[in-house]
């Protein structure tokens, strides 16, 4: 059992499809839990749908969605780790995946940035007036 990729990147407000692969055939359904561990991202930054998936005996892949929640807080880039777990002792979990969520609040939505732009323009205007 493994993630198709070991890294994913998305912007706030987007949905990241996460592909989980089952290798081999157990002949029985297998249930897998997707757990997360925030490195810099917190639970208010994302959620996963669904958090539990069941592979039928003949099914080799499942798709879950990680929703990166958009907010107005300037946070910078955040990361989290996705892990797979199962109660089936015969299933080997091969990897985890790192998700990077890029902040779209950015400079343009930062209220302090507007003040900085105003001060810069005001200072430039005053300077030009001073030179006259």
Q: Buried b vs exposed e over 105-132: b needs ≥16 C-beta within 10 Å? A: eeeeeeeeeeeeeeeeeeeeeeeeeeee
Flag whether the pTM goes above 0.85: no
Beta-strand runs (E) in 39-131: 46-49, 52-55, 61-68, 78-85, 97-102
The model's pLDDT over 67-121, given as tens digits with 9 standing for 90+, comes to: 998 887 787 889 999 999 998 888 888 999 999 999 887 544 444 444 444 444 4
Domains of the chain: 2-106 (2.60.40.2030)
Of 30-39, 66-75, 118-127, highest mean pLDDT: 30-39
| Residue 26 in this model has a pLDDT that exceeds 60 | yes
Which of 11-15, 17-21, 70-74 reaches the highest mean pLDDT?
17-21
Nearest C-alpha neighbor of 63 from the set 32, 36, 42: 32
The CA–CA distances, whole Å, from 21 to 44, 67, 79 equal 27, 20, 22
pLDDT of residue 38: 79
């Amino acid at each position: 059992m493994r993630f198709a990729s070991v890294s994913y990147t998305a912007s706030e407000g987007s949905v990241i499809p996460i592909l989980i692969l089952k290798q081999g055939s157990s002949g029985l359904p297998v249930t897998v839990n997707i757990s997360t561990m925030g490195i810099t991202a917190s639970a208010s930054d994302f959620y996963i749908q669904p958090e539990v998936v069941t592979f039928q005996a003949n099914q080799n892949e499942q798709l879950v969605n990680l929703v990166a929640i958009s907010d107005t807080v300037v946070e910078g880039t955040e990361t989290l780790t996705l892990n797979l777990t199962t109660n089936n002792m015969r299933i080997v979990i091969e990897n985890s995946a790192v998700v990077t969520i890029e902040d779209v609040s950015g400079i343009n939505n930062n209220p302090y940035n507007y003040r900085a732009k105003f001060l810069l323009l005001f200072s430039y205007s005053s300077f030009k007036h001073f030179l006259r």
